[in-house]
């Protein structure tokens, strides 16, 4: 989960013009087509199999990496961008419901995850680099413009896309993660639920090897701690925890080690099986590198500027105790065309915990704002 106290990286760039991009694509089409669809054994990551129940993934070359992409449906393209510690499989429900609604659903395993490459260079996980990954994905699929929908760190990326590449973005749906403006976030409208210490989860993820050791000791149990409803993903609970508790300080490493899990697991057993075997094969360093590139190396201090001039929807969750819905309160000041919706009785894993309401809200917004664009 991105640290809501920090703005995310965004640099001013001069995107290639659409005409130049089309010319380059036509000129390179013959050479570029071959790498995009190859046998899984040739391009997949060792020990990682495609997600069950999903379309057969294709592989695209983008920004120096090979990216696995799951795609289904036709119509307006919607690119789903996952966060930590997630996979394209986080959007498994939407890869059924969105095509049924006449949309083209596209979900990549992001850099560092699943079947996609996991470069060692931490700088490659900075938000501007992730946006370049997504632009290369569009080019590989011969898509001029798409709607981007992102959760968690994926939300940070999709809110940055229209600022860096406005000619490639039809609209944005940010899930849980708010967009940040040019100014630092103002004082919260409600009392903070978390007391940050040196063991705050985002801080502990910065030291190479520290979080990896805890998460990898028992991958399944670590994931069971993360993917829950209730417990520390509950506002009323968080208000009542002692100040020195792991929950109140959001010390996730301590919560894993204490192994006193509460609440309810949100993942079905077969889904957790796939998550577990995948992270046992890939490890968690790719995911932690998002924190190291965007917080640990000062990236969070680079503040995005300018309005976001595409239709936007923010979907928050009532019981996301880290990314509170109130963190979106400043967004109308720099997003003229913005709607906000908060899903009640829902924690951080919104599109997986409440897929029916998530789909109802987002598909209705798409129909009203974008139609068959």
Annotated active-site residue 241? The verdict is no
Catalytic position from the list 8, 82, 151, 348: 348
Asked whether 170 and 310 are in contact (CB, 8 A), the reply is: yes
222-to-151, 177, 257 alpha-carbon distances in Å: 20, 23, 9
Annotated active-site residue 151? The verdict is no
Distance (Å, whole) CA 27 – CA 19 = 12
The helix or strand, by DSSP H or E, that contains position 191, with its residue range, turns out to be none
3-class DSSP state for residue 340? strand
Residue of 102, 90, 114 whose CA lies nearest to 175: 90
164-to-27, 123, 133, 255 alpha-carbon distances in Å: 25, 17, 12, 38
Catalytic position from the list 152, 234, 320, 359: 152
Annotated active-site residue 329? The verdict is no
Q: Is the peptide bond before 351 cis (omega within 30 degrees of 0)?
A: no
Question: Any idea which residue has 């949309």 for tokens?
Answer: 103
Catalytic position from the list 291, 314, 320, 359: 291
Q: Which residues are catalytic?
A: 152, 291, 348
């Amino acid at each position: 989960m991105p640290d809501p106290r920090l703005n995310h990286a965004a640099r001013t760039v001069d995107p290639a013009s659409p005409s130049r991009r089309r010319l380059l694509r036509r000129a390179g089409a013959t050479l570029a087509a071959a790498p995009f669809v190859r046998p899984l054994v040739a391009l997949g990551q060792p020990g990682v199999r495609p997600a069950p129940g999903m379309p057969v993934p294709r592989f695209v070359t983008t920004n120096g990496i090979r990216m696995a992409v799951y795609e289904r449906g036709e119509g307006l393209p919607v690119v789903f961008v996952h966060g930590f510690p997630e996979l394209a499989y986080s959007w498994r429900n939407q890869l059924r419901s969105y095509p049924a609604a006449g949309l083209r659903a596209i979900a990549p395993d992001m850099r560092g995850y699943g079947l996609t490459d996991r470069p060692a260079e931490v700088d490659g996980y900075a938000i501007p680099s992730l946006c370049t990954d997504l632009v290369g994905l569009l080019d590989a699929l011969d898509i001029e413009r798409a709607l981007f929908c992102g959760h968690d760190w994926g939300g940070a990326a999709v809110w940055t896309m229209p600022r860096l590449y406005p000619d490639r973005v039809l609209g944005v749906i940010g899930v849980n993660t708010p967009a940040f403006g040019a100014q630092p976030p103002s004082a919260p409208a409600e009392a903070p639920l978390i007391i940050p210490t040196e063991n705050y989860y985002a801080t502990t993820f910065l030291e190479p090897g520290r979080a990896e050791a805890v998460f990898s000791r028992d991958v399944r149990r670590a994931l069971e701690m993360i993917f829950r409803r209730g417990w520390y993903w509950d506002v009323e609970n968080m208000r009542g925890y002692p100040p020195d508790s792991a929950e109140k300080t959001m010390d996730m490493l301590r919560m894993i080690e204490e192994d006193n899990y509460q609440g309810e697991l949100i993942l079905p057993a077969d889904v957790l099986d796939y998550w577990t075997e995948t992270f046992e094969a890939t490890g968690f360093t790719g995911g932690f590198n998002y924190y190291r590139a965007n917080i640990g190396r000062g990236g969070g201090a680079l503040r995005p500027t300018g309005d976001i001039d595409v239709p936007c929807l923010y979907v928050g969750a009532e019981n996301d105790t880290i990314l509170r819905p109130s963190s979106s309160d400043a967004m109308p000041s720099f997003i003229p065309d913005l709607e906000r919706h908060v899903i009640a009785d829902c924690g951080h894993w919104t599109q997986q915990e409440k897929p029916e309401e998530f789909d109802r809200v987002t598909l209705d917004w798409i129909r009203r704002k974008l139609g068959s664009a």
